[in-house]
Structure 1
Amino acid sequence: MTGSEAPLIELTGVTRVFGSGAAAFQALRGVDLTVQKGEFLAIMGPSGSGKSTAMNIMGCLDTPTSGSYRFQGLAVEQLTRRQRALLRRWRLGFVFQGYNLLPRTSALENVELPLMYRRVGTAERRRLARETLALVGLSGWEKHTPAQLSGGQQQRVAIARAIVTNPTVLLADEPTGNLDSEKGNEIMVLLRSLNEDRGITILMVTHEPDMAAYAHRVVRFVDGKIQSDAPRAEAA
């Protein structure tokens, strides 16, 4: 099913095994998960629970050992490495705990980077990057390098870089992990506004219950399996 009723993301019986023989480690043990377009999902769990592995699979950075991953009805595990890279480029945006900005490059140039991969012309690239920096509250900071920005500002640049291509899904891995609670909440308010105002589906890995409270659903992983999947109020 690839019509409008198809889930945006659907994992069915997904397993992921690293290594082989006696050294094999089963990171995911038959995970079933469905995400509808426009949802804001928080993924929680202790270290080694499988949450980051599941995120990597949904972000097309890894493939299941067995099981199925469908994105808008497309069987992702059947795609070639190049096809998965194109899916990442055109449909997905990524935000990481460590920002991952180019250190000697301005905020504007950092945000332009994904558009360069799409071969967008210079004038259009600059216009989109400026508009997106304004959207995340950084008008006037375009020429500043990461070293001239606070942690919260760097994460805003990273978010701008992730959404400048207007992705269908934004995957955020511990996006507030390096920030104090005030800056962390500012980032979460921004993410929620992107979800509500622009309709971007957000998948966020976090270990902080206060940050997970901004999501619609909270999915908890334990020992490679989903222990619970509940709306925010029930999860709390």
Structure 2
Amino acid sequence: MNAPHDMEGGGAEAPLIRLRDVCKRYGSGATALMALDHVNLDIAQGEFVAIMGPSGSGKSTAMNILGALDTPTSGHYLFRDVDVGATTRDQRARLRRSSLGFVFQGFNLLARTSAQENVELPLLYRGESASVRHALAARALAAVGLAGWEDHTPAELSGGQQQRVAIARAIVTQPSLLLADEPTGNLDSQRSREIMELLAALNREQGITVVMVTHEPDMALYAHRIVRFRDGKIDSDSVNTEQVGVVTEAG
């Protein structure tokens, strides 16, 4: 399949994400490792999906492919009907800048830089003016509950607040897809619940599709679906009937 020139193109009715017979092989011959083995997965716009599995199950490899950080050895990853594996490196970088947001376990904030400046960084890469960067970063920080904390550096913030800054940085470009890799892995139980409630609210209120890798079953319960990997394959894909984090307006 040839990649269209317009990375934002695609049919409105198709799932946001489609993995079709995706394989990822490292090495060759007898020592080859099949990290993903004929994986098929659809994720609709607006879903919140948790990906789980033991170490070496393929979940991190799948996230790297979804984030356009890696490409399949065979098969197809379609984002809005665009075959991402058939695009150029520059096109994938443009896709990451325009449509994807990333949240990591380790926050990855610049230590001597304010929360405001950390959040502005993706906009700087996009070439936005200082006034636009400032306004959008302030709005993103307010969306994660950090209005008034713009001038604080990471050292002046708690772990939960640092992760909120990282989430603000991920959503400042208004992405269609937020990829969260163990976002609560460095947090205590209370801060973990706060971050998951924030991700659930962003999904619910802003319609951001969230795909999260986690090893914590109680964190996965915030998702609509739980997809479990084992030995490079999808072992199960089920609707989460015990979803938490859904509140009413009065709640």
**Aligned equivalent of 1:142, options 143, 150, 156:** 150
- Quote the offset at 1:28 in angstroms: 0.4
User: CA contact under 8 A between 1:44 and 1:206: conserved in structure 2?
Assistant: yes
Counterpart position of 1:102: 110
Cα deviation, 1:117-139, whole Å, max 9, x if unaligned, reads 11111011111111111110111
**Aligned equivalent of 1:34, options 33, 42, 53:** 42
The code of the aligned residue for 1:198 comes to Q
Q: 1:60 to 1:198 in 2, by over 3 A?
A: same
Cα deviation, 1:72-111, whole Å, max 9, x if unaligned, reads 0011110011111100110000000000001110000000
Cα deviation, 1:130-173, whole Å, max 9, x if unaligned, reads 11111101111111111111100000000000000000000000
**Aligned equivalent of 1:180, options 183, 188, 191:** 188
- Quote the offset at 1:234 in angstroms: 7.5
Moved more, 219-228 or 15-24: 15-24
Return 5+ residue gaps in structure 1 as ranges: none
Q: 1:215 to 1:191 in 2, by over 3 A?
A: same
**Aligned equivalent of 2:58, options 47, 50, 56:** 50
2:241 partner SS: helix
* 2:125 counterpart of 1:93: no
Counterpart position of 1:164: 172
Q: Distance in 2 between matches of 1:235 and 1:127?
A: 34
User: CA contact under 8 A between 1:218 and 1:235: conserved in structure 2?
Assistant: no
1:233 partner SS: coil
* 2:217 counterpart of 1:219: no
Cα deviation, 1:188-218, whole Å, max 9, x if unaligned, reads 0000000000000000000001000000000
Q: Distance in 1 between matches of 2:134 and 2:229?
A: 41
Q: Distance in 2 between matches of 1:229 and 1:76?
A: 23
**Aligned equivalent of 2:135, options 127, 130, 137:** 127
Return 5+ residue gaps in structure 2 as ranges: 1-8, 245-251
The code of the aligned residue for 1:180 comes to D
Q: What TM-score comes out, normalization by structure 2 length?
A: 0.92
The equivalences for 1:60-71 within 5 A come to: 60-71=68-79
Moved more, 129-138 or 19-28: 19-28
